[in-house]
Amino acid sequence: MKHFLLSLLLFPMLAWCAPPMKTDSDSNPLLDQYSEEGFVDCVLRIVDRSESPEHYRLRLRANYGGQVVGMDVVVVKHIQGGFDAEMNLNKEHVYRRGVAFIRTGPESDRLISALAKLYGHEKPMRQMISEETFTAIALHQGAIDMEREPVKIKIFGRDGESFDEDAYYESFFNLDLRAGFVFWNEKDQGYREPLIRGLTQ
């Protein structure tokens, strides 16, 4: 079990050691440029950021097929590592409603449609749900300074008390506030259908 948890801490780090990022003329990254080996990994640029005492709100944008895609994301501030020195889960650092995806208009519909197309859907046109919240765990040990260092976060969708295995899904949401990018990475291909259903009206 501890070897499995250690692998979560180390994966995925590809985006932070990858070749120079491909962007459009407005500096928006090409959405799926880091996808490989059957996994769909997305990169989005933080184009605007606001904050309250408890949360960051990030406006995210990327380019897919020559069109701007994006959404807003709300992330709880002061996230700390989810594991102690012995790789045991620290339940105090499991953040219910720790991350929320928020529709901002047609660009969000295009983002979900792009994801559906990348997942192989024949009819990818979608309309994004107005808001979807996630439980979040930082895949780190110990203290984290979100302003200064990248944070690897695992997010859990539809994991409430009335648990439905067919609706549940996971993904990685890796946040680099300092560099100004988010890396939204696929956890498992088996979560594709529930993820698209969960984010679509």
- 89 to each of 1, 3, 75, how far by Cα in Å? 11, 13, 20
Give pLDDT, residue 6: 46
| DSSP-assigned states of every residue in 1-67 | -HHHHHHHHHS--GGGGSSPPPB-TTSPBBTTTT-BTTB-EEEEEEEEEEE-SSEEEEEEEEEETTE
- Averaged over successive runs of 10 residues, the pLDDT of the chain (201 residues) comes to 48 52 98 95 98 98 98 97 94 97 98 96 89 98 95 96 93 98 97 96 92
User: Distance between CA atoms of 91 and 83, rounded to whole angstroms?
Assistant: 9
Between 106-118 and 192-199, two packed helices, what is the crossing angle to 10 degrees? 170
pTM over 0.85: yes
Which residues, 6+ apart, have CB-to-CB distance to 72 below 8 Å? 57, 58, 59, 60, 101, 102, 103, 104
Mean pLDDT, the chain, whole residue set: 91
Where are the chain's structural domains?
Answer: 2-15+28-199
**pLDDT one-digit tens code per residue, 16-51:** 445 589 999 999 999 999 999 899 999 999 999 999
Give pLDDT, residue 37: 86
Give pLDDT, residue 12: 45
- 146 to each of 70, 80, 88, how far by Cα in Å? 22, 9, 22
Give pLDDT, residue 66: 98
